[in-house]
Homo-oligomer: A and B are copies of this chain.
Amino acid sequence: MSLLKAAIIGGGHIADDNHIPALKKLADQVEIIAVCGRDLSKARALADKHAIEHAFDSTEALYGSCQPDIILNCTPNNLHYDYTMQALKNGCHVFCEKPPAMTAAEAREMADLAKEKGKILAYNFQRRQSSEYLLLKKCYEEGQLGEVYHIKANYLRRRGIPGWGNFTNKTIQGGGALIDLGVHILDLALGIMDYQAPDKIVANIHDFIGKTGGKGLKGSWDAAKFDVEDGCFAYLSFPGNKSISLSCSFALNQKEEEIINLEVFGSKAGAVLNPFSLHTEVAGELADIRFPFLDETDTQLKNTTAFIDAILGKESNISTAEQGAVLQEIIEKIYLSATL
Protein backbone atom coordinates (compact mmCIF):
# COMPACT_ATOMS: atom_id res chain seq x y z
CA MET A 1 0.00 0.00 0.00
CA SER A 2 1.27 3.45 -0.82
CA LEU A 3 1.82 5.90 2.02
CA LEU A 4 -0.79 8.49 2.98
CA LYS A 5 0.49 12.01 2.41
CA ALA A 6 0.00 14.38 5.26
CA ALA A 7 0.36 18.16 5.43
CA ILE A 8 0.50 20.24 8.59
CA ILE A 9 -1.31 23.58 8.77
CA GLY A 10 -0.17 25.67 11.72
CA GLY A 11 3.46 25.33 12.70
CA GLY A 12 3.31 25.95 16.45
CA HIS A 13 4.14 23.83 19.45
CA ILE A 14 1.21 21.48 19.09
CA ALA A 15 2.45 20.45 15.65
CA ASP A 16 6.07 20.29 16.68
CA ASP A 17 5.62 18.48 19.98
CA ASN A 18 2.60 16.27 19.41
CA HIS A 19 1.41 15.66 15.89
CA ILE A 20 4.63 15.44 13.93
CA PRO A 21 6.38 13.08 16.39
CA ALA A 22 3.30 10.83 16.41
CA LEU A 23 3.09 10.75 12.63
CA LYS A 24 6.79 9.96 12.34
CA LYS A 25 6.26 6.87 14.50
CA LEU A 26 3.71 5.78 11.89
CA ALA A 27 6.13 6.19 9.01
CA ASP A 28 5.05 2.86 7.54
CA GLN A 29 1.61 4.34 6.91
CA VAL A 30 2.02 8.09 6.59
CA GLU A 31 4.50 10.48 5.02
CA ILE A 32 4.54 14.11 6.07
CA ILE A 33 5.01 16.08 2.93
CA ALA A 34 4.52 19.71 3.94
CA VAL A 35 4.26 22.27 6.69
CA CYS A 36 2.22 25.42 6.16
CA GLY A 37 2.45 28.45 8.45
CA ARG A 38 1.96 32.19 8.37
CA ASP A 39 5.68 32.82 8.60
CA LEU A 40 7.54 30.98 5.88
CA SER A 41 10.90 30.97 7.62
CA LYS A 42 9.44 29.38 10.72
CA ALA A 43 7.55 26.84 8.63
CA ARG A 44 10.76 26.03 6.76
CA ALA A 45 12.66 25.64 10.03
CA LEU A 46 10.08 23.27 11.39
CA ALA A 47 10.08 21.28 8.17
CA ASP A 48 13.85 21.05 8.26
CA LYS A 49 13.89 19.98 11.87
CA HIS A 50 11.69 17.04 10.98
CA ALA A 51 13.07 16.37 7.49
CA ILE A 52 9.85 17.37 5.77
CA GLU A 53 10.21 18.33 2.12
CA HIS A 54 7.90 21.31 1.62
CA ALA A 55 7.15 24.48 3.51
CA PHE A 56 4.49 27.04 2.60
CA ASP A 57 3.11 30.28 3.92
CA SER A 58 -0.37 29.92 2.46
CA THR A 59 -2.74 27.04 2.02
CA GLU A 60 -3.25 28.16 -1.53
CA ALA A 61 0.40 27.51 -2.18
CA LEU A 62 0.11 24.19 -0.40
CA TYR A 63 -2.84 22.91 -2.37
CA GLY A 64 -1.34 24.40 -5.52
CA SER A 65 1.79 22.30 -5.38
CA CYS A 66 0.85 19.20 -3.39
CA GLN A 67 -2.02 16.80 -3.17
CA PRO A 68 -2.10 15.78 0.47
CA ASP A 69 -4.42 12.99 1.59
CA ILE A 70 -4.49 14.28 5.13
CA ILE A 71 -4.53 17.73 6.66
CA LEU A 72 -3.51 18.23 10.29
CA ASN A 73 -5.21 21.41 11.35
CA CYS A 74 -3.02 22.80 14.11
CA THR A 75 -4.18 26.41 13.85
CA PRO A 76 -5.65 28.55 16.64
CA ASN A 77 -9.27 27.85 17.57
CA ASN A 78 -10.67 30.74 15.55
CA LEU A 79 -9.18 29.30 12.34
CA HIS A 80 -10.31 25.69 12.77
CA TYR A 81 -13.42 26.21 10.68
CA ASP A 82 -11.83 27.93 7.68
CA TYR A 83 -8.93 25.58 7.22
CA THR A 84 -10.97 22.47 7.83
CA MET A 85 -13.63 23.46 5.33
CA GLN A 86 -10.96 24.30 2.78
CA ALA A 87 -9.20 20.99 3.35
CA LEU A 88 -12.38 18.99 2.94
CA LYS A 89 -13.14 20.87 -0.24
CA ASN A 90 -9.69 19.91 -1.43
CA GLY A 91 -10.55 16.26 -0.85
CA CYS A 92 -8.50 15.75 2.27
CA HIS A 93 -9.17 13.87 5.46
CA VAL A 94 -8.74 16.27 8.38
CA PHE A 95 -7.37 15.77 11.86
CA CYS A 96 -8.32 18.97 13.64
CA GLU A 97 -7.23 20.22 17.03
CA LYS A 98 -9.90 20.76 19.65
CA PRO A 99 -12.30 22.46 20.18
CA PRO A 100 -13.96 21.79 16.81
CA ALA A 101 -14.87 25.40 16.07
CA MET A 102 -16.05 28.73 17.45
CA THR A 103 -19.78 28.04 17.02
CA ALA A 104 -22.10 25.10 16.90
CA ALA A 105 -23.17 26.09 13.41
CA GLU A 106 -19.59 25.91 12.16
CA ALA A 107 -19.04 22.48 13.69
CA ARG A 108 -22.29 21.23 12.19
CA GLU A 109 -21.33 22.59 8.76
CA MET A 110 -17.92 20.93 9.02
CA ALA A 111 -19.50 17.58 9.87
CA ASP A 112 -21.97 17.89 7.02
CA LEU A 113 -19.29 18.68 4.48
CA ALA A 114 -17.12 15.80 5.66
CA LYS A 115 -20.08 13.48 5.23
CA GLU A 116 -20.86 14.88 1.81
CA LYS A 117 -17.26 14.52 0.71
CA GLY A 118 -16.91 11.06 2.21
CA LYS A 119 -13.86 12.13 4.12
CA ILE A 120 -12.81 11.56 7.68
CA LEU A 121 -12.95 14.65 9.85
CA ALA A 122 -11.74 13.91 13.37
CA TYR A 123 -10.77 15.90 16.46
CA ASN A 124 -7.73 15.37 18.61
CA PHE A 125 -9.25 14.49 22.00
CA GLN A 126 -6.26 12.39 22.92
CA ARG A 127 -7.24 11.88 26.57
CA ARG A 128 -9.59 9.22 25.27
CA GLN A 129 -6.56 7.02 24.82
CA SER A 130 -5.35 6.80 28.40
CA SER A 131 -5.33 3.31 29.89
CA GLU A 132 -7.71 4.46 32.56
CA TYR A 133 -10.31 5.77 30.13
CA LEU A 134 -10.03 2.78 27.81
CA LEU A 135 -10.64 0.52 30.80
CA LEU A 136 -13.58 2.64 31.91
CA LYS A 137 -15.03 2.45 28.42
CA LYS A 138 -14.53 -1.31 28.34
CA CYS A 139 -16.24 -1.79 31.69
CA TYR A 140 -19.11 0.40 30.51
CA GLU A 141 -19.51 -1.43 27.23
CA GLU A 142 -19.33 -4.85 28.87
CA GLY A 143 -22.22 -3.78 31.08
CA GLN A 144 -20.25 -3.96 34.32
CA LEU A 145 -21.53 -0.53 35.32
CA GLY A 146 -25.17 -1.27 34.47
CA GLU A 147 -27.18 1.83 33.62
CA VAL A 148 -24.97 4.89 33.98
CA TYR A 149 -27.13 7.72 35.28
CA HIS A 150 -24.85 10.43 36.62
CA ILE A 151 -21.30 11.58 35.96
CA LYS A 152 -19.30 14.18 37.80
CA ALA A 153 -16.72 15.57 35.38
CA ASN A 154 -14.05 17.78 36.91
CA TYR A 155 -11.03 19.54 35.44
CA LEU A 156 -10.09 22.01 38.13
CA ARG A 157 -6.90 23.94 38.76
CA ARG A 158 -6.15 26.05 41.80
CA ARG A 159 -4.01 28.64 40.04
CA GLY A 160 -3.38 27.24 36.61
CA ILE A 161 -4.05 30.16 34.31
CA PRO A 162 -1.41 29.67 31.62
CA GLY A 163 1.18 32.41 31.53
CA TRP A 164 1.89 31.81 27.84
CA GLY A 165 -0.07 31.40 24.58
CA ASN A 166 -3.53 32.79 23.86
CA PHE A 167 -5.40 31.00 26.63
CA THR A 168 -6.79 34.19 28.16
CA ASN A 169 -7.74 35.83 24.85
CA LYS A 170 -11.40 35.33 24.03
CA THR A 171 -11.19 36.45 20.42
CA ILE A 172 -8.65 33.81 19.51
CA GLN A 173 -9.66 31.04 21.89
CA GLY A 174 -13.42 31.53 22.03
CA GLY A 175 -13.42 31.09 25.80
CA GLY A 176 -11.35 30.12 28.83
CA ALA A 177 -11.40 27.16 31.19
CA LEU A 178 -14.32 25.52 29.41
CA ILE A 179 -12.70 25.73 26.00
CA ASP A 180 -9.25 24.65 27.09
CA LEU A 181 -9.91 22.17 29.91
CA GLY A 182 -13.61 21.45 30.28
CA VAL A 183 -13.94 20.33 26.72
CA HIS A 184 -11.59 17.40 27.36
CA ILE A 185 -13.35 16.07 30.40
CA LEU A 186 -16.73 16.68 28.80
CA ASP A 187 -15.68 14.61 25.80
CA LEU A 188 -14.75 11.77 28.14
CA ALA A 189 -18.03 12.00 30.02
CA LEU A 190 -20.09 12.08 26.84
CA GLY A 191 -18.35 8.91 25.74
CA ILE A 192 -19.98 7.13 28.68
CA MET A 193 -23.34 8.69 27.74
CA ASP A 194 -23.31 7.39 24.15
CA TYR A 195 -22.56 10.94 23.03
CA GLN A 196 -26.18 11.97 22.95
CA ALA A 197 -27.25 15.61 23.20
CA PRO A 198 -28.58 16.90 26.54
CA ASP A 199 -32.08 18.31 26.66
CA LYS A 200 -31.47 20.72 29.54
CA ILE A 201 -28.41 22.77 30.42
CA VAL A 202 -27.87 25.27 33.20
CA ALA A 203 -24.48 26.87 33.73
CA ASN A 204 -22.54 29.71 35.31
CA ILE A 205 -19.16 31.19 34.47
CA HIS A 206 -16.86 33.40 36.53
CA ASP A 207 -13.72 35.51 36.27
CA PHE A 208 -13.05 36.76 39.81
CA ILE A 209 -9.56 35.37 40.18
CA GLY A 210 -8.51 35.83 36.58
CA LYS A 211 -9.37 39.51 36.72
CA THR A 212 -7.80 40.02 40.16
CA GLY A 213 -4.43 38.45 39.47
CA GLY A 214 -2.03 37.02 42.02
CA LYS A 215 0.30 34.09 42.29
CA GLY A 216 0.23 31.66 39.40
CA LEU A 217 1.37 28.05 39.30
CA LYS A 218 1.64 27.96 35.50
CA GLY A 219 3.44 31.25 35.01
CA SER A 220 2.09 34.75 35.52
CA TRP A 221 -0.87 36.10 33.63
CA ASP A 222 -1.93 39.63 32.82
CA ALA A 223 -5.09 40.28 34.84
CA ALA A 224 -5.79 43.43 32.88
CA LYS A 225 -6.08 41.53 29.58
CA PHE A 226 -7.89 38.54 31.00
CA ASP A 227 -11.22 38.36 29.19
CA VAL A 228 -12.26 34.70 29.42
CA GLU A 229 -13.91 32.69 32.20
CA ASP A 230 -11.58 31.34 34.91
CA GLY A 231 -14.21 28.85 36.00
CA CYS A 232 -17.36 27.21 34.71
CA PHE A 233 -19.97 25.06 36.46
CA ALA A 234 -22.67 23.36 34.44
CA TYR A 235 -25.34 20.71 34.74
CA LEU A 236 -26.46 18.74 31.70
CA SER A 237 -29.61 16.65 31.82
CA PHE A 238 -30.10 14.01 29.14
CA PRO A 239 -33.07 12.07 27.82
CA GLY A 240 -33.42 8.84 29.75
CA ASN A 241 -32.94 10.53 33.13
CA LYS A 242 -29.18 10.86 32.95
CA SER A 243 -27.02 13.80 33.85
CA ILE A 244 -23.51 15.21 33.89
CA SER A 245 -22.25 17.70 36.45
CA LEU A 246 -19.35 19.56 34.86
CA SER A 247 -16.84 21.73 36.74
CA CYS A 248 -13.75 23.23 35.20
CA SER A 249 -11.43 26.04 36.16
CA PHE A 250 -8.16 27.73 35.44
CA ALA A 251 -8.26 29.17 38.95
CA LEU A 252 -10.37 28.18 41.94
CA ASN A 253 -9.83 28.42 45.68
CA GLN A 254 -9.54 24.69 46.25
CA LYS A 255 -6.91 22.64 48.04
CA GLU A 256 -5.62 20.59 45.13
CA GLU A 257 -3.26 21.98 42.51
CA GLU A 258 -5.19 20.12 39.82
CA ILE A 259 -8.08 17.68 39.71
CA ILE A 260 -8.81 15.81 36.46
CA ASN A 261 -11.40 13.18 37.06
CA LEU A 262 -14.64 11.47 36.22
CA GLU A 263 -16.88 9.88 38.81
CA VAL A 264 -19.33 7.63 37.04
CA PHE A 265 -22.40 6.28 38.82
CA GLY A 266 -24.16 3.27 37.39
CA SER A 267 -26.86 0.93 38.61
CA LYS A 268 -24.44 -1.99 39.02
CA ALA A 269 -21.15 -0.22 39.74
CA GLY A 270 -19.54 3.15 40.02
CA ALA A 271 -16.18 4.04 38.59
CA VAL A 272 -13.56 6.67 39.30
CA LEU A 273 -11.18 7.51 36.47
CA ASN A 274 -7.99 8.60 38.27
CA PRO A 275 -6.77 6.38 39.76
CA PHE A 276 -9.16 3.98 38.11
CA SER A 277 -11.35 2.02 40.49
CA LEU A 278 -14.69 0.22 40.49
CA HIS A 279 -17.15 0.28 43.37
CA THR A 280 -19.62 -2.55 43.15
CA GLU A 281 -20.67 -5.88 44.66
CA VAL A 282 -18.67 -9.11 44.33
CA ALA A 283 -19.96 -12.38 45.76
CA GLY A 284 -22.78 -10.49 47.44
CA GLU A 285 -20.54 -8.08 49.30
CA LEU A 286 -19.70 -4.43 48.64
CA ALA A 287 -16.34 -4.40 46.91
CA ASP A 288 -13.76 -1.92 45.67
CA ILE A 289 -11.61 -2.94 42.74
CA ARG A 290 -8.26 -1.34 42.03
CA PHE A 291 -5.95 -1.83 39.04
CA PRO A 292 -2.42 -1.11 40.24
CA PHE A 293 -0.62 -2.07 37.04
CA LEU A 294 -2.20 0.00 34.29
CA ASP A 295 0.30 1.02 31.63
CA GLU A 296 1.20 4.58 30.89
CA THR A 297 0.46 5.17 27.27
CA ASP A 298 1.51 7.58 24.54
CA THR A 299 -1.96 8.99 24.12
CA GLN A 300 -1.07 11.16 21.13
CA LEU A 301 0.39 8.24 19.22
CA LYS A 302 -2.68 6.16 20.01
CA ASN A 303 -5.01 8.93 18.89
CA THR A 304 -3.15 9.61 15.67
CA THR A 305 -3.23 5.88 14.99
CA ALA A 306 -6.97 5.89 15.63
CA PHE A 307 -7.35 8.66 13.05
CA ILE A 308 -5.38 6.69 10.48
CA ASP A 309 -7.39 3.57 11.33
CA ALA A 310 -10.57 5.50 10.65
CA ILE A 311 -9.26 6.52 7.22
CA LEU A 312 -8.38 2.92 6.52
CA GLY A 313 -11.86 1.76 7.49
CA LYS A 314 -10.67 -0.04 10.60
CA GLU A 315 -12.39 0.06 13.95
CA SER A 316 -11.44 3.29 15.66
CA ASN A 317 -12.36 5.23 18.77
CA ILE A 318 -11.41 8.60 17.28
CA SER A 319 -13.57 11.64 17.98
CA THR A 320 -15.78 11.89 14.90
CA ALA A 321 -17.04 14.95 13.10
CA GLU A 322 -20.50 14.13 14.36
CA GLN A 323 -19.32 13.97 17.98
CA GLY A 324 -17.51 17.23 17.47
CA ALA A 325 -20.73 18.85 16.35
CA VAL A 326 -22.61 17.53 19.38
CA LEU A 327 -19.87 18.74 21.68
CA GLN A 328 -19.66 22.20 20.12
CA GLU A 329 -23.38 22.64 20.51
CA ILE A 330 -23.17 21.78 24.19
CA ILE A 331 -20.38 24.29 24.68
CA GLU A 332 -22.42 26.95 22.97
CA LYS A 333 -25.42 26.19 25.15
CA ILE A 334 -23.34 26.31 28.30
CA TYR A 335 -22.14 29.80 27.41
CA LEU A 336 -25.66 30.81 26.48
CA SER A 337 -27.02 29.65 29.81
CA ALA A 338 -24.19 31.30 31.67
CA THR A 339 -24.48 34.68 30.04
CA LEU A 340 -28.24 34.96 30.27
- Name A's B-contacting residues (CB within 8 A): 135, 138-139, 142, 144, 146-147, 149-150, 152, 158-159, 200-206, 208-209, 212, 214-215, 217, 231, 233-235, 237, 241-243, 245, 247, 252-255, 257, 263, 265-270, 272, 277-294, 337
B283 touches A293 (CB 8 A): no
Q: Which residue of B lies closest to A280 (CB)?
A: B253
> With A252-B270, A270-B254 known to touch, is A292 a contact of B283 (CB < 8 Å)?
no
- The answer to whether residues A265 and B270 also contact, given A241-B204, A282-B291, A293-B286 and a CB cut-off of 8 A, is no
Between A142, A214, A217, A267, the greatest number of chain B beta carbons within 10 A of the residue's beta carbon is seen for A267
Q: Which residues of chain B come closer than 8 Å to A204, judged between CB atoms?
A: 149-150, 237, 241-243
Tell me which of B208, B263, B268, B291 contacts A286 (CB under 8 A): B291
Min CB distance A233 to B, Å, is: 5
Closest to A263 in B: B254
Given contacts A253-B270, A265-B252, A266-B253, contact A286 B135 (CB under 8 A): no
Chain B residues within 8 Å of A257, by CB: 292-293
Q: Could you tell me if A135 and B254 are in contact, using CB atoms closer than 8 angstroms?
A: no
- Cβ contact within 8 Å between B286 and A292: yes
Nearest Cβ distance between residue A88 and chain B, in whole angstroms? Answer: 37
A135: chain B residues at CB < 8 Å are 283, 285
| Closest partner residue, chain B, to A243 (CB atom) | B204
Complex Cα gap A217–B291 (Å): 13
- The answer to whether A206 and B292 touch (CB under 8 A), given A215-B285, A277-B255, A281-B214, is no
- 9 A-B pairs with CB atoms under 8 Å apart are A135-B285, A158-B286, A214-B284, A217-B286, A253-B267, A253-B269, A254-B279, A257-B293, A282-B291
